[in-house]
Amino acid sequence: MKSENRKTENIRKAEELIQCFATGDVKKARSLLADGYIQHNLAYATGAEAFCDSVAYLGSAPVRTTVNTVRAFADGDKVFLHTVYNFAGAGEQVAFDIFRFENGLIAEHWDNLAPKADCNPSGRTQIDGQTEAKDLEKTEENRELVKHFLYDVMQGKNPQKTPDYFEGDRYLQHNTGIADGLSGLGAALEAMGKAGIAMIYDRVHQVLACGDMVLAVSEGTFGGKPTAYYDLWRVENGKIAEHWDVMETIADPSAWANSNGKF
């Protein structure tokens, strides 16, 4: 199977898998999962059977689960999705899911989830904006740009380079508490600093790219709490142009349902 056909097929399978939460189709879910399926969502046990148990539970719940995938991209053997879930009527959550494929089956999963919120100060939501990847020929160039951006800016190694990554103040922001523009980001960071809240990126675990869309998975702390950061950036003409994110506090290891770790 050619690379692009394989990517398209993998995206289809990943979307079919998460739709099983809505349909309760345990048989379908099991057919998509590898025998050694590895789970990194720390609230659930690892393994294909544990995943299928969750599908069966949600399928029998009195309120139907809804799954709305807004963005879907592939990078090599991985698929990354941007989705709104409502599990059994518990309330809408925005998520990034990453699935790794092996021999045509889903072998590993990582994710971050956060409650769906109202519009941010610029009137943007956590999910609106461009949904399709463009500039596919620039995938590797854009991946490298974001890697350098993470090092220089998000990890604070060369903060003086921050303006170099933006086209003036042109920056569309989907974070729930931050306004558009580099100015909006600066104001938010200043406000957090005055409140004694530090947002720290210590380590980057994955940087997945598809054209102008680049998803970074990072580990750090927010307000002193261990935090997983999932940041999706859209790159335009070599500059950071748009940002979506989901932050999640990492549970204490005593509460983990599996030992695979968050990352």
* Judgement on whether residues 203 and 140 belong to the same structural domain of the protein: yes
Asked if residue 110 belongs to a domain, the reply is yes
Helix (H, G, I), strand (E, B) or coil at 14: helix
- As a 3-state breakdown, the chain gives helix, strand, coil percent values, each rounded to 5, of 35, 35, 30
On whether both 147 and 222 belong to a single domain, the answer is: yes
Spatial separation of the C-alpha atoms in residues 150 and 164, rounded to whole Å: 13
pLDDT at 1 over 80: no
Same domain, yes or no: 168 and 64: no
Domain C-terminal end among 116, 145, 175: 116
At 58, is the pLDDT very low, low, confident or very high (cuts 50, 70, 90)? very high
Cα dist from 68 to 79, 83, 237, 242, whole Å: 16, 6, 30, 21
Residues facing 106 on adjacent strands: 33, 101
Rounded distance, CA 263 to CA 252, Å? 14
In a shared domain, residues 18 and 111: yes
Q: Are residues 157 and 218 in the same domain?
A: yes
- 103-125 pLDDT, tens digit per residue, is 999 999 999 999 999 999 999 99
CATH number for the domain spanning 188: value is 3.10.450.50
Same domain, 145 and 173: yes
Pairwise CA distance, residues 170 & 146, whole Å:
17
Q: Are residues 27 and 86 in the same domain?
A: yes
Number of domains in the chain: 2
pLDDT (0 to 100) of residue 2: 78
Q: Are residues 10 and 79 in the same domain?
A: yes
Tell whether 87 is covered by a domain. Answer: yes
Cross-sheet strand order for the sheet of 199-210:
172-173, 239-249, 225-236, 213-222, 199-210
Count of helices and strands (H, E) across the chain: 5, 10
- Provide CB contacts within 8 A for 253, sequence distance 6+: none
Element (H, E) at 83: strand 78-86
Q: What is the domain extent for residue 100?
A: 3-116
Residue 121 lies in a domain: no
* pLDDT score, position 31: 98
Q: Is the pLDDT of residue 23 over 90?
A: yes
Q: Are both 81 and 147 inside the same structural domain?
A: no
Instruction: Determine, yes or no, domain membership for 263.
Output: no
Instruction: Average the pLDDT over 88-94 and give the result.
Output: 98
The answer, as to whether pTM is greater than 0.95, is yes
**Closest-CA residue to 156 (of 115, 201, 106, 208):** 201
pLDDT digits (tens, 9 = 90+) for 193-236: 899 999 999 999 999 999 999 999 999 999 999 999 999 999 99
Residue 203: which H helix or E strand, with range?
Answer: strand 199-210
In a domain? residue 127: no
Q: Answer yes or no: do 150 and 85 share one domain.
A: no
Say if 61 falls within a structural domain. Answer: yes
